[in-house]
Amino acid sequence: MKKDNNLLDYVPLIAQQIQWSENEDGIVTVDVVNKGIFNRIAQVCFGRPKVSHIALEEFGSFIWKQIDGKHTIYDIAMLVQEQFGEKAEPLYDRLLAYFRTLQGHGFVVLQAPENK
pLDDT at 10: 95
> What is the CA angle 3-59-35, rounded to 5?
80
pTM: 0.83
Q: Is 89 in contact with 5 (CB distance < 8 Å)?
A: no
| Residues of the chain predicted below pLDDT 70 | 1-5, 115-116
Distance CA 89, CA 80 (A): 10
Which pLDDT belongs to residue 33?
83
User: What pLDDT score was predicted for residue 102?
Assistant: 95
Q: Which amino acid is at 85?
A: G
105 beta partners: none
- β-bridge pairing 19-22 and 28-33: antiparallel
Q: What is residue 1's predicted lDDT score, i.e. its pLDDT?
A: 39
